[in-house]
A and B are shown apart, each in its own frame.
Chain A
């Protein structure tokens, strides 16, 4: 029994990603077709060359036919997967494991979400019949409780915390301003972010991820076949997934300064990939910056910073585009918005570009000799969440 991983057994040989925007003029079908076409072209395959499909969507539709109908797939297995905001990542994980098992030669992971057709700001959970006792708080409010808890525990004043959170948001907007696929492409000064009226707790609108429609996809094949498709494949080093037991919500020992599920997920991912010191080995990370305090805590749960120190490192620029470990070089959820089923694959897409040296010069990460990228994706709330981490690399071994 153990989580053995599939290090270097599967490679990504093609990826695509639509712009993440308020796509008033495109439906779910359009987004899927656009992302799939770009991905097929990237890998140099036709849809008939793909043996099996995993479609991630939280609530854009039901079943594999959400994909098979618009793409007119004939007699292909299509599996719809859902794991809250980690849905796109889950599709990648399933496709990769299917290829690693030997069941299929070529698989596609594709994620999509059509959020803006709901008619509301923000994400809205699909209504599940219940006894009426579940919380109905927004995610912003739940994550807002992290900031004061962190501040109290580590002696960070309210003003310092505000500066930290605004630095995170400003950094991600800086990166997103350099990304043509991002929805928000303007730099925003930290002072402006700090000055916004508060929506939930101490979080203003610029502390929250945007809302967008979008799709992204990847083609995965056996590692030994990868160079038949591209001379720059990206190898899967680790795929880790933890679905929390929700105990943080009801356990008085939980203090809202960490996410237990993510710390455990990181340990598993680093073990699968053979990473001993993430700070020295990871070249860049795409993390789930749904709200600014989330990214702060993630830096510690992912071991990018020691406990209680991430806030100082954020202010020192450690995770800036030119810092020692660039985080969210594509602009993150902050600049892209968060089409739930697509976000995990959008993160992998940035790792794909950066590891292959294809990110445009204005947002390319510094040359360090490190060849690993980490993507992290979560769903849920502090105390009860699902966590996904992938580690991807530009070489085998």
Chain B
């Protein structure tokens, strides 16, 4: 029996998970005609102009918490190679958007793909529950290998023990192999990484990967042919492919690395591949338990994690399966991709740029700005977005209760397309949205094609970066079309539970 009973000591593992892939897809074949080279086959995910590693991390983390609504993580651990800020903590914005209590620590690990694997290891080995969020924007100069091979996305793993809630995948153990060799390097702030000769890195990665894999199997008392699913990831494509071939696992055990559709999402990729594997198992229902799932991360050495799935995974329904997100994107022209990345300077709208956000005003309204919490007048029931002290109906003063709106679904009542408003990517599509459980908000739409919006469209809130002024990122919520029914169902059941 894989799920421990009350006499068993608590086990640790994954209690919930989420993954986020942005809506846009770049066809790699579009690169070479412009850049003169590079590209290749397949597509990669592209973060929208209003997304960064913080906002993508929020989206992934929301799904992880939806999956385990009763688990309260004791810390939020955020890893990225492309932090939105230096000096200040990026995890605090994620923390605020998730409405985690102030006594939940929020910590960044920024700078390497390995940092995400490192936080996961700390969380799995640690004593309390933690939400491990990894988010990355991958790219390079036009025509580069990193631009084509990379992808943008985020993953979130809610780690804890069976005392915190049902464990979907028990952590059996793993191993590390740390190695110092410079096969890629980038000074902070630079747009591109530089690479050493390919076979040099491959040699070191294969050695580290084999060492960690052997140690991990030994530590958990398993042999390679007992492993049912293994995902290998890292930025060195030849090493990833080479190690996969030499793990000694059975045919069909090696997971699709999603390179053809998503690209390698750097720090986010280990969690993304684990989420994808768990999704696939969960959907098989009755046979999801007692499967051995391993993840191998090649970054400055290697990290290996070995899990065993539980009965709880059989009963689990993913909120937004990775496969659905992979299949659900829409294309973006290469020129727009370059413009969004700042690689192609385009003429800005001839309107004044928005002023920088007031830090004190933002701090006062953090529940609204980050948490998307409005207020409902207790006497009239009128919902106020943003929250108000005096009701618009009946005039009651300071008799409001908070109304969390982040999981609310609404309908487009009317909309407009503003071709003059300042935007990093005009035109602005803007809609008056009436939410199902009350409340109206005029709100910008995102991840839409302007000519396809209709009155009556169903939309849901998504956390975005509205803009940046004087280096201060302005985070707030927009609305995007509801593209599948699952998030609605999940949010509804979480609320009713």
> Would A251 and B355 be within 8 Å (CB), given that A132-B362, A141-B430 are in contact?
no
**Nearest residue in A to B388 (C-beta to C-beta)?**
A250
**B369 neighbours in A (Cβ, 8 Å):** 131-133
State the majority secondary structure of interface residues on B: mixed
Minimum-distance CB pairs A-B, first 10 = A141-B418, A132-B357, A129-B358, A127-B355, A132-B474, A201-B416, A247-B392, A131-B361, A131-B365, A141-B416
B351 at the interface (CB under 8 A from A): yes
Contact A129 B361 (CB under 8 A): yes
**B316 neighbours in A (Cβ, 8 Å):** none
**B439 neighbours in A (Cβ, 8 Å):** 250, 252
Contact B351 A145 (CB under 8 A): no
**A135 neighbours in B (Cβ, 8 Å):** 430, 442
Task: Identify which of residues 193-244 in chain A touch chain B, using a CB-to-CB cut-off of 8 Å.
Answer: 198-201
How close is B390's CB to chain A, nearest CB, in angstroms?
9
Q: How many A-B residue pairs have CB under 8 A?
A: 114
How close is B66's CB to chain A, nearest CB, in angstroms?
24
Distance in angstroms between the alpha carbons of A77 and B145 in the assembled complex? 71
A136 at the interface (CB under 8 A from B): yes
Contact A136 B364 (CB under 8 A): no
Distance in angstroms between the alpha carbons of A199 and B438 in the assembled complex? 32
Contact B440 A140 (CB under 8 A): no
6 contacts between A and B (CB under 8 A): A120-B351, A124-B351, A133-B365, A145-B414, A247-B392, A254-B440
Distance in angstroms between the alpha carbons of A45 and B393 in the assembled complex? 50
**Nearest residue in A to B439 (C-beta to C-beta)?**
A250
Contact B351 A201 (CB under 8 A): no
A3 at the interface (CB under 8 A from B): no
**A152 neighbours in B (Cβ, 8 Å):** 455
B contacts, CB < 8 Å to A? 350-352, 354-355, 357-358, 361-362, 364-365, 368-369, 382-386, 392-393, 413-422, 428, 430, 432, 434, 438-442, 455, 466, 474-476
With most chain B CB atoms within 10 A of its CB, the pick from A138, A141, A251, A383 is A141
**Nearest residue in A to B358 (C-beta to C-beta)?**
A129
Contact A256 B414 (CB under 8 A): yes
**Nearest residue in B to A253 (C-beta to C-beta)?**
B440
Task: Identify which of residues 130-187 in chain A touch chain B, using a CB-to-CB cut-off of 8 Å.
Answer: 130-133, 135-138, 140-142, 144-145, 148-149, 152
> Would A131 and B362 be within 8 Å (CB), given that A120-B352, A122-B351, A148-B414 are in contact?
yes
**A133 neighbours in B (Cβ, 8 Å):** 365, 368-369, 386, 476
A75 at the interface (CB under 8 A from B): no
A245 at the interface (CB under 8 A from B): yes
Partner pick for A124 among B352, B365, B455, CB 8 A cutoff: B352
Distance in angstroms between the alpha carbons of A141 and B415 in the assembled complex? 9
Distance in angstroms between the alpha carbons of A140 and B420 in the assembled complex? 9
**B354 neighbours in A (Cβ, 8 Å):** 127, 132, 136
Partner pick for B441 among A137, A250, A254, CB 8 A cutoff: A250
Interface residue tally for chain A (C-beta within 8 Å): 37
A contacts, CB < 8 Å to B? 118, 120-122, 124, 127, 129-133, 135-138, 140-142, 144-145, 148-149, 152, 198-201, 245-247, 249-252, 254, 256, 383
Distance in angstroms between the alpha carbons of A124 and B421 in the assembled complex? 10
**Nearest residue in A to B411 (C-beta to C-beta)?**
A252
**B420 neighbours in A (Cβ, 8 Å):** 121-122, 138, 140-141, 199-200
Partner pick for B421 among A121, A138, A251, A252, CB 8 A cutoff: A138
How close is B6's CB to chain A, nearest CB, in angstroms?
48
Contact B440 A141 (CB under 8 A): no
Distance in angstroms between the alpha carbons of A249 and B382 in the assembled complex? 13
How close is B78's CB to chain A, nearest CB, in angstroms?
21
Contact B413 A252 (CB under 8 A): yes
Contact B415 A250 (CB under 8 A): no
> Would A149 and B414 be within 8 Å (CB), given that A124-B352, A252-B434 are in contact?
yes
Distance in angstroms between the alpha carbons of A325 and B463 in the assembled complex? 50
**A121 neighbours in B (Cβ, 8 Å):** 350-351, 420
**Nearest residue in A to B357 (C-beta to C-beta)?**
A132
**Nearest residue in A to B432 (C-beta to C-beta)?**
A145
Partner pick for A250 among B358, B385, B414, B418, CB 8 A cutoff: B385
**B434 neighbours in A (Cβ, 8 Å):** 252
Partner pick for A252 among B357, B358, B440, CB 8 A cutoff: B440
**B350 neighbours in A (Cβ, 8 Å):** 120-121
Distance in angstroms between the alpha carbons of A249 and B413 in the assembled complex? 12
**Nearest residue in A to B354 (C-beta to C-beta)?**
A136
Distance in angstroms between the alpha carbons of A247 and B383 in the assembled complex? 10
Distance in angstroms between the alpha carbons of A312 and B232 in the assembled complex? 69
With most chain B CB atoms within 10 A of its CB, the pick from A132, A149, A247 is A132
